[in-house]
Structure 1
Amino acid sequence: MTLPLKTTALLATLAAAGPLAAQEGANGTSFVEEFDRLDTARWYVSDGWNNGAHQNCTWSKDAVKAAGGKLTLSFDARPAGDRRYACGEVQTRKRYGYGTYEVRMKSASGPGLNSAFFSYIGPTDKKPHDEIDFEVLGKDTSRVQVNQYIAGKGGNEKLVAVPGGADSGFNDYAFVWRKDRIAYYLNGTLVHEVTDARKLPTNAQKIFLSLWGTDTLSDWMGRFAFAGPATMEVERIAFTAEGGPCQFDGSVACLVN
């Protein structure tokens, strides 16, 4: 993988900064997951609830499948809980801190759907709402949205073009989270960098993969119109702790750490 000069220069700066102390509560270590099966010691499958009135589907274990090197999260018209639709989500059982977060995924398509790779911690874990996001909105899969929440405050969205479309094939999404910056990458290229301390999360977080829909957030996600089952597919997800060894060829962490 050949990186542009701008990306190479940033990676050199990050490496020179050296390792920083992990956040309090960060108990997860480096891993690479290629989904030959679902490792339930690592992953918790969301099942039987939704995240609020804005979500038109219920998390369902039946919407999560892992086999043959691929995780599939589905959205389908199947009654679940108090919703007409069922959708899939997995989250790590452990919390992770500074390091490189990477996923290779193919998004779902369709207005009102959201294919997401993100880290999150919040009130259910007795912590402030901190979050770092990659989200593909099914209304326009030519772009991916990156964003951060700090103590529940968002408003840091940036849309990045995905050549060929996020739903037409697999793309590599990554963010490098350090104490003084977050750098976002698409297919190995730096696409966004945040250095303002007011926009940098500080709390260790769990890692999530999810596919969900909405009937109400149409200004953001598009007007929902069910056109048949939809799927989000993931071939690999990895976390490399800051300063840790590179874990696979092509990893952004190979150059950062």
Structure 2
Amino acid sequence: MAKTIFITGASRGLGRIWAEAFLKRGDQVIVAVRNPDALNELSEQFPADLLVIKVDVTDKLACFEAIALAKSHFGVIDVLINNAGYGHIGAIEELKEEEVRRQFETNVYGSLWMMQAILPVMREQHSGHIIQVSSALGIVSFPTLGLYSASKFAVEALSDSLVAEVSGFGIKVSIIEPNGYRTDFATTSGIESKALPVYDGVRAYLAEGNKIEDWGIPEATVSAVLQLVDAENPPLRLILGRVGFQWIKSVYQQRLQTWEEWQDVSIAAQGN
């Protein structure tokens, strides 16, 4: 059965690939983007099934207006894919206040505003699926990627709370956690703080371990996302890519080992 799917940040990268895949299989798609002209080709191919809306997700009112317009146009919104966001590279000492605020305004607040806008629609429908695009870096963090990870850790926390709050309304929640993919995410669409030479060694170490052959092929994510959207009982979390799974498994094993080693101290801290 065809679905009506709202995607933010779909002018390029994974969001664009997913939007096109949905359209090709017969779904109705709404894309919320900063630059609608980037979707002209798709609009010409799918004039009846694609609605392009100019939206800056950091603008709360614009998010609510976009959801209202989409609901009025298609009558229903089955799926929201919160994909808008960008990467930021910078050691903690290098980060400027405006860079931190911009990262959170887009990656966290933008996601939150869209969730708040869609929830009344899905509650009224007694159905819906909210898919949050996080990252493997929403579970683990690497040097010079702390700010980006912090924003995705926040998305994960909001989503964990949301699933418990809305399950009684027939609304499902999933978190997609991709590892690195060969998109423009870390190049033209990303931001980098002004570097301090003292951290050049850290950057070199990270670059050495971040090999291009470990990056995924963006088009390979399509099947996984279609399966997630179509699942009757979708998972709360879905890792995209084998490298992300390896990172996360290793980090959780280390954390469990540390917590177990310090368990006596933790229990004594209870006080009763």
More strand by share: 1
Higher relative contact order (CA 8 A, sep 6+): 1
More helix by share: 2
TM-score (norm. length: structure 1):
0.28
